[in-house]
Structure 1
Amino acid sequence: MYGQMMYQPLLVSSLLEHAANYHADTPIISKNTDGSMHHTDWAGISSRAKQCANFLKSLHLEQGDRIATLAWNNHRHIETWYAISGSGYVCHTINPRLFPEQLIYIIQDAQDKVLFFDQTFVPLINAIKKHIPNIELFICLDTYNESVKEALPETVFYEELIQSQSGHFDWPELDELCASSLCYTSGTTGNPKGVLYSHRSTLLHTFASCLPDSLNLSSKDIMLPVVPMFHVHAWGSPYVAAMMGCSLILPGSALDGDSLVQLIDQYKVTVSLGVPTIWQSLISSAKKLNSTLPSLNRNVVGGSACPPSMIETFKTDFNCDTIHAWGMTEASPLGTVNHLKGKHLNLSKTEQFNVRLSQGRPPFGIRIRLVDAENDNKPLSNNGIETGNLQIQGHWIVNRYYGQENIALTEDGWFDTGDIASMNQDGFLNISDRAKDLIKSGGEWISSVELENIAMAHPKIDMAAVIAAYHPRWDERPVVIAVKSTTGQITETELLEFYQDKIAKWQIPDKVIFVDAIPLSGTGKMLKRKLREDYGNTLI
């Protein structure tokens, strides 16, 4: 017997409809590519998204056709984002920081038909244009610009296209299981792989992201998503903001520390999301500009492990709680979030701090487990000590990669994340490392993340990566690649001495190499593969 309740499909368009109906005048403030600020609200975003949808309808595309965006976090990108998915097409957000060969690959693999782009990406499009013949229409997300037209004659302009379109549009009632958007992995171990999200998975992910033990959002919040919309939907923040009706501050291409401090202070941002490298830049700029970031009460850190020193700095210097989270493209991306449980409130501040260092626990809708991959995926105990391969199941977890026939899961239906972790009885996850980044020295494992966190705690170090270098006796030994702080000098001996009494002596790195900058991936993660190529033989 079925329940006798009303059925409505879970659709992306319903998020925008809700925001427009019940949070119409909530501000959406966006930085344009020319540096100017654009002020609108959820009603304005909804109306223009419908104008865009009416234009897309005139193209006579088929449901499920892929439409690409190559754009920063701005109001026009959000308008097209909702228009594409809401109309029944697939919104393919492209990461412009990928190598040109990777960009060509994913545009061809997705068989995108239309490309929306910010004018800053004209040189990039010109460089790859002859290799992407499947793109039938190039649309610049701006008003008419003669220089853009000269550089890319095929271009038509967004504002001209939608100005004659009606702001009324009836979003189609789609099957909630149909595809809504497409994101590709960063391709650090080969070609990027596509992850095709459904309307249902996206809505369930959005519900979970809003929970108090997740992002803890409300309509009173002012959110600054620093993580780009081309990086797993800015971790779902535009969806979450619409569901809760909170205000959005969209930074455009200005992701430097000084610009972010200005946005946070000027618009009284309460919550922001980004990777550790972004927060390191923000901390440096805030101190330089003598800002205490008074409005910012929490920030979300993901993408890679957050150094404990960063959590402490945000709390001590800025009275800002850092929410440590873990996820990946294949998980939409939310996997776990760190919030204290009720039983932790009676702990000392030091004990609470130690709990907050982990990547947290899964929300409802996600299950995680640790297995011994070398022993037929034998499940391991959740005792906070045993480490194993992290695997995940859930309503918004990938089943198979786009365009591939083979299921991406284990025989018993779990997705292997490639992470090595431990987990306690409450489900708090402590990721030791990526499996490929672990260092095996004399048959014993060393966590590169743990060594990086120690280096990052030194006040004269701005950024640090630890890699495995080949060793004639021990097979591999850890080497630190570090960027010195501009506020002071430090020697190799001083940094290595900093490791004393913090870890076992045999785990202390063999060498420190100081560099001007550490190469980053398109999602802001340190490119350890490149570092291993450059410095992997430094001990031989």
Structure 2
Amino acid sequence: MLGLMQDRPLSLPMLMNRMENQYRDKTVTTEQIGYVMTAGYGEVATRIRALAGVLDHLGVPRDARVGTFGWNTQRHLELYMAVPCTNRVLHTINHRLSASQLTFIVNDAEDDVLFVDRSILASIWPVIEACERVRHIVVMDDGADFPLPDDPRIHDYEALLAAAVPVDGILEVADERTAAALCYTSGTTGRPKGVLYDHRSIVLHALMLQLVDSFGLRESDTIMPVVPMFHVNAWGLPYAALMCGADLVMPGTSTRPEQLVEQIERHRVTFTAAVTTVWRDAAGFLDGRDLSSLRHIVCGGGAVPVSLSRHYRDTVGQPLRNAWGMTETSPVVTSARITTADRGLDDEHHLEVLAGPGTALPLTELRLMLDDGSLAPHDGQARGELQVAGPTIAGGYFGQTGRSEAVTEDGWLRTGDVATIDPHGRLRIVDRTKDLIKSGGEWISSVELENEIMADSRVAEAAVIAVPNDRWGERPMACVVPVAHGELTGDDVREFLRGRVAGWWIPEEVRIIDEVPKTATGKFSKVSLREMVLQEN
């Protein structure tokens, strides 16, 4: 017997109603180099309806992919709504990827139209020019002086909106499982793979971010998504902000560390999120700033050094709080928080807790699978491959038929991470399966070793990779970026590690480098680091 509740789809047009009515006076502010633009949600909703008319005018079919190369701006937010709310698929593309990756992604997605910020166009024009399937290229002029190429496919965003016939009435997506957004993985272990989100997963994920034990997003917040809108829907923050009615501050092209800190102060930002690299780069610009408005700073995309979190706590009044997820998981799966189990423990313990990935958000499930196919206990010690499940988790990849190898027979996503889970449900990422180091038949966790090295206040960054060894098979090599050039040696690193890790974990080889190579989303690139070391050898 079925229940008797109304059959209303969980879809993004629900957010349009809130923008046009309940929250029409809330604002989105976009920072661009040289100017600031602010508009109310009601005005933005009017532009979204005009943009929907533009898509109709351009003849973009239902289910067609609409690609975007854009910064975090109001215009990009308009695309976030207009495309999926008219039954098309928003395809956000990371312009920082290589030309070969971009060409593959645009062609694989079969993008019908591309929306491009003018400041990005110069770096990717050769890729776009070669994508013959793209029928239209809409340029969003952000003041860059790059001359527009002579291509009949090019249109101006604002000119199209001014001439558009807006779509009136109720925007409707009848089936909540309709595809809404497409985002490709970075392809660090092969070709990028497309993750296709539906309306239901985006709405549920936005709701999850508003729970008090996750990010606790609320109407009184001013949210600044530093994490790019071309990366997993900016971790779902724009949609969550529209749903709860929070004000938005978009960094636009003003993304240098000192600019981000200045924006937080000037706009009285209460919530912000970025990868660890961003907060590390911004740490030197905190002194003398009034950042007392901040109540929550999320750090993702890798381990959070306790020393860095402590610096933010002491300088800003808020520690960094970790969260974990993947492109395939919408992305947030876990969020760090202090629980009743931590009552009575000191501040240093709290910092260590908040530096970890945290516990699973409601609607998501975690499990650890051992090599023999059995489940590992959640005792904080047993290590297994982390697998996740839930309505915000991918069940396959775009364009692939049949069951993906990344999904188990009973429907759990294989993350590729090795982890532990303690009795309180706290996740700890031990390593990536491909980054474990097997030395003399025993495993060394590169992630744990990196965390211990970065606990040294003299260390800015540290990445550990495996190098061949005739006797042991593999040994760890630590590549370390010091806070102050010339004031840290390999012996210093090894001495700091003594007593903190097993003696046989301590690397014989420590290289002092200027910077750890990063992926296009700001994570450590072990692939590039290995190539760099190989070239130097």
> TM class, shorter-chain normalised?
over 0.9
**SS in structure 1 at match of 2:196:** strand
Alignment correspondent of 1:311: 309
Distance of 1:146 and 1:292 partners within structure 2: 34
2:352 matched residue in structure 1? 354
Structure 2 distance, partners of 1:45, 1:210, is 22
Q: TM-score, normalised by structure 2?
A: 0.95
Q: CA RMSD in A?
A: 1.9
- C-alpha displacement of 1:454: 2.4
- Whether 1:157 aligns to 2:156 is yes
CA deviations 1:392-419 (Å, max 9, x no partner) are 1100111110000132311122111000
Superposition map of 1:385-404 within 5 A: 385-404=381-400
> Does the Cα contact within 8 Å between 1:309 and 1:453 map onto a contact in 2?
no
Identity %: 36
Aligned to 2:273: 273
Q: Write the distance in 1 (CA, Å) between the matches of 2:146 and 2:532.
A: 40
Equivalent residue for 1:114? Answer: 113
* 1:37 has 2:36 as partner: yes
Show CA shifts across 1:508-539 (max 9, x none). Answer: 1222212222211111111101112232598x
Structure 1: runs of 5 or more not aligned? none
| 3-state SS in 1 of match to 2:90 | strand
Moved more, 487-496 or 353-362: 487-496
Q: Deviations over 1:426-461 (max 9, x none)?
A: 211000111111111111111212222222232332
**2:49 maps to which residue?**
50
**How big is each residue's C-alpha offset from its partner over 1:136-179, in whole Å with a ceiling of 9 and x where there is no partner?**
00000127988533465642100000012355533123311110
3-state DSSP of counterpart to 1:30: strand
Deviation at 1:380, TM superposition (A): 0.6
Residue pair 1:68, 1:115 contacting (<8 A) in 2 also: yes
Amino acid in the other structure paired with 2:528: K
Instruction: Call closer, same or farther: CA 1:486–1:74 in 2, change over 3 Å.
Output: farther
Aligned to 1:83: 82
Give CA deviations for 1:4-45 in whole Å, capped at 9, x if unaligned.
22221111121232133211111211023x441111121122
Residues 486 and 257 of structure 1, relative CA distance in 2, 3 Å threshold: farther
Q: Kindly indicate whether the alpha-carbon contact (under 8 Å) linking 2:176 and 2:199 is maintained by their aligned counterparts in 1.
A: yes
Would you say the 8 A contact 2:119–2:144 is kept in 1? no
The equivalent of 2:233 in structure 1 is: 233
Q: Give TM-score scaled by structure 1 length.
A: 0.95
One-letter amino acid matched to 1:217? L
Q: Which residue of 2 aligns with 1:284?
A: 284
| Count of residues in Structure 1 that have an aligned counterpart in Structure 2 | 534
* CA distance in 1 between partners of 2:145 and 2:344 (Å): 64
Partner of 2:378: 382
> What does the per-residue CA deviation read over 1:56-89, in whole Å, with 9 as the maximum and x for residues that have no partner?
1222332111000000000001111210011100
CA distance in 2, matches of 1:69, 1:388: 38
SS in 1 for 2:359: coil
Aligned partner of 1:513 in structure 2 is 511
Contact 1:66/1:110 (<8 A) preserved: yes
Task: Return the offset for 1:494.
Answer: 1.7
- Per the alignment, in what secondary structure is the counterpart of residue 378 of structure 1? coil
State the one-letter code of the partner of 2:435: D
From the superposition, tell whether residues 133 and 476 of structure 1 become closer, same or farther in structure 2 (CA, over 3 Å): same
For 2:192 and 2:62, locate their aligned partners in 1 and report how far apart those are by CA, in whole Å: 24
Does the CA contact (< 8 Å) of 1:460 and 1:488 recur in 2? Answer: no
Q: Which amino acid aligns with 1:468?
A: A
Given the alignment of the two structures, is residue 367 of structure 1 paired with residue 397 of structure 2, yes or no? no
Q: Give 3-state SS (helix, strand or coil) of 1:465's partner.
A: strand
> Is there any run of 5+ residues in structure 2 with no aligned partner, and where?
none
Whether 1:525 aligns to 2:510 is no
Q: Would you say the 8 A contact 2:52–2:167 is kept in 1?
A: no
Cα pair 1:469 1:537 within 8 Å, conserved: no
Whole-angstrom CA distance in 2 between matches of 1:457 and 1:359: 17
Moved more, 464-473 or 479-488: 479-488
Q: Cα distance 1:145–1:214, how it changes in 2: closer, same or farther (>3 A)? A: closer
Asked if the contact 1:113–1:135 (Cα under 8 Å) also holds between the matched residues in 2, the reply is yes
Partner Cα distance (2:467, 2:276) in 1: 24
Cα deviations by residue, 1:43-62 (Å, 9 ceiling, x for unpaired): 12211111100111222332
1:487: how far off?
7.3
Contact 1:232 1:332 in 2 (8 A): yes
Superposed, 1:108-507 pairs within 5 Å as 108-142=107-141, 147-150=146-149, 154-167=153-166, 169-170=168-169, 171-287=171-287, 290-291=288-289, 293-372=291-370, 374-375=371-372, 377-408=373-404, 409-486=407-484, 489-507=487-505
CA contact (8 A) 2:319 2:351 kept: no
Query: 2:486 and 2:315 mapped to 1: Cα distance?
Result: 19
On the 8 A contact 1:144/1:157 being kept in 2, the answer is no
- 8 Å CA contact retained: 2:195, 2:327: yes
Q: Give the 3 Å change call, closer, same or farther, for CA 488–14 of structure 1 in structure 2.
A: farther
State how far apart, in whole Å, the 2-side matches of 1:482 and 1:151 are: 47
Structure-1 residue corresponding to 2:69: 70
Residue identity opposite 2:321 in structure 1:
I
Change (3 A) 1:151 1:124: farther
Q: Match of 1:437, SS?
A: coil
* Distance 1:39-1:487 versus aligned 2 partners, 3 A rule: farther
Q: CA deviation at 1:483?
A: 1.9
Greater mean deviation of Cα atoms: 438-447 or 237-246: 438-447
Task: Read off the aligned partner of 2:276 and give its amino acid letter.
Answer: P
- Partner-residue secondary structure (3-state), 1:49: helix
Shift of 1:292: 5.2
Match of 1:105 in 2: 104
Q: Report the Cα distance in structure 1 between the residues aligned to 2:269 and 2:444, rounded to whole angstroms.
A: 39
Contact kept, 8 Å, 1:69 with 1:92, in 2: the verdict is: yes
Counterpart contact for 1:370–1:390, Cα < 8 Å: yes
Give the residue type in structure 2 aligned to 1:106.
I
Shift in alpha-carbon separation, 1:146–1:163, aligned structure 2, 3 A:
farther
Amino acid at match of 2:314: T
Matched residue of 2:499: which SS? coil
Confirm or deny that 1:15 pairs with 2:11. no
196-205 or 446-455, larger mean C-alpha shift:
446-455
